[in-house]
C-alpha cells in the first residue's frame, strides 16, 4: 500500500514545532473526517496531551536565559568594536609617531585573531575573544595599550567577556541538571499519536482517494512546511554554533 500522506519527520521537530503542527493536523481532520470512530478516539487521546505540553513549555520558558545572554553578548561585541575602531583610527594619525606605532602593533594582533569575530557563534566568539585578550595581555601589547591610553577600554572588554562566560556557564549547568525529562516524554507520546493519525488517514484515503483528496492535500502542505522549517532551524543553529563564514582579515572596519 503506497502512502498518500507525506512522512512527518518528528525526530527533527522541536516540541514546540510538533505541538503546533499536531494541532493544525487535528484541526484539519476534525473538519474533514468526522465519521471515523478510530480517528475520533485518537484525537480524544491527544487533546489532554496538548494541555500537558502547554504547561511544560511554559515552565521551560520561565527558566530561559536567552534574553540575558543576548544582552551580555551584545555588550562584549560593542566593547570589542569600540577598541578595534579606536586602535584603527590611531594607525592613520601620522603626526603622533609613538601612538601610531603602538596602534599598528595592536591592530596587527587584532587582525591576526579576527576583526569581525563578533559575527561568530557564541562558542567560537568566546574562544577568539579569549585568545585576543590573552595576546593583548602580553608585555609589548600592554605597553602599547598604555601608550594609546586605551587601558580602560581593554579592561572593559575583559570584564564583558567574563560576564558573558559566567552567565553562559550558568545556563549550561542549569539545563544539564534539569534535562527537561517531561518534555522528552511528551514529545515521544505526541509523536506516536500523530503518526497513528496519519497512518489512519492513509488507510482511509487508500479506500477512497477522491473522497479524501482535499484532506490529504492540506495535510501534505502542513507536513512539508513543518519538515522544511525544522530543517532550516537545525541549519541555523549549526551555523550559529560553528560560525557561518570564513573570517576575512582586512582593515575594513565597516559594520
pLDDT tens sequence across 39-92: 888 888 888 888 888 887 776 665 557 778 889 999 999 999 999 999 999 999
Nearest to 143 by CA among 98, 113, 91, 190: 98
Measured torsion, CA atoms of residues 41, 45, 51, 57, in degrees rounded to the nearest 10: -120
* The pLDDT value given to residue 175: 57
Residue 7 backbone class (left: φ over 0; alpha: ψ -120 to 50; beta: rest): beta
* Strand, coil or helix: 106: helix
The per-residue pLDDT for 249 is 40
Q: Quick one: pLDDT at residue 178?
A: 52
Nearest partner of 164 among 82, 76, 99, judged by Cα: 76
109-123: pLDDT as tens digits:
999 999 999 998 888
Q: What pLDDT, on a 0 to 100 scale, did the predictor assign at position 174? A: 63
What pLDDT, on the 0 to 100 scale, is given for residue 32? 73
Residues 94-107 have a mean pLDDT of: 96
Q: Report residue 254's pLDDT band, with 50, 70 and 90 as the boundaries.
A: very low
Q: Which three cell numbers stand for residue 1?
A: 500500500
Q: Give the pLDDT of residue 2.
A: 47
Q: Pick 171 or 121 by higher pLDDT.
A: 121
* pLDDT at residue 191 in the model: 93
Taking each helix axis from N to C terminus, what angle separates 66-90 and 122-136, rounded to the nearest 10 degrees? 40
CA distance 198 to 6: 9
Residues 6+ apart with CB under 8 A from 44: none
Least reliable range by pLDDT among 35-44, 87-96, 130-139, 225-234? 35-44
Buried (b) or exposed (e) across 31-53, using 16+ Cβ within 10 A? eebeeeeebeebbeebeeeeeeb
Is 80 exceeded by the pLDDT of residue 255?
Answer: no
Nearest alpha-carbon partner for 213 in 9, 35, 33: 33
Residues of the chain by 3-state class (helix, strand, coil), percent to 5 = 80, 0, 20
Q: How much is the pLDDT for 109?
A: 96
Residue with cell 473522497: 211
Average confidence (pLDDT) over 1-8: 74
Mean pLDDT, residues 212-228: 91
pLDDT mean over 167-188: 70
226 in Cβ contact with 13 (< 8 Å): yes
Q: What is the mean pLDDT of the chain?
A: 85
Amino acid at each position: 500500500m503506497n502512502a498518500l500522506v507525506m512522512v512527518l519527520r518528528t525526530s527533527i521537530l522541536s516540541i514546540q514545532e510538533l505541538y503546533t503542527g499536531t494541532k493544525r493536523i487535528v484541526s484539519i481532520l476534525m473538519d474533514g473526517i468526522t465519521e471515523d470512530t478510530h480517528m475520533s478516539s485518537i484525537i480524544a487521546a491527544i487533546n489532554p496531551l496538548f494541555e500537558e505540553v502547554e504547561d511544560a513549555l511554559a515552565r521551560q520558558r520561565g527558566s530561559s536565559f536567552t534574553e540575558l545572554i543576548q544582552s551580555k553578548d551584545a555588550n562584549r561585541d560593542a566593547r570589542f568594536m569600540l577598541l578595534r575602531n579606536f586602535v584603527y583610527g590611531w594607525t592613520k594619525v601620522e603626526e603622533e609617531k609613538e601612538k601610531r606605532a603602538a596602534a599598528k602593533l595592536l591592530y596587527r594582533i587584532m587582525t591576526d585573531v579576527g576583526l569581525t569575530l563578533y559575527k561568530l557563534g557564541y562558542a567560537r566568539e568566546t574562544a577568539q575573544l579569549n585568545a585576543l585578550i590573552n595576546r593583548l595581555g602580553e608585555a609589548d601589547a600592554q605597553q602599547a595599550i598604555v601608550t594609546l591610553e586605551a587601558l580602560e577600554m581593554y579592561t572593559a572588554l575583559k570584564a564583558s567577556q567574563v560576564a558573558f562566560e559566567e552567565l553562559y556557564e550558568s545556563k549550561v549547568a542549569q539545563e544539564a541538571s534539569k534535562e527537561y525529562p517531561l518534555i522528552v516524554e511528551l514529545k515521544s507520546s505526541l509523536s506516536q499519536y500523530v503518526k497513528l493519525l496519519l497512518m489512519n488517514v492513509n488507510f482511509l484515503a487508500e479506500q477512497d482517494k477522491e473522497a479524501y483528496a482535499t484532506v490529504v492535500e492540506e495535510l501534505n502542505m502542513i507536513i512539508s512546511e513543518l519538515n522544511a522549517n525544522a530543517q532550516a532551524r537545525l541549519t541555523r543553529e549549526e551555523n550559529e554554533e560553528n560560525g557561518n563564514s570564513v573570517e576575512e582579515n582586512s582593515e575594513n572596519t565597516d559594520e
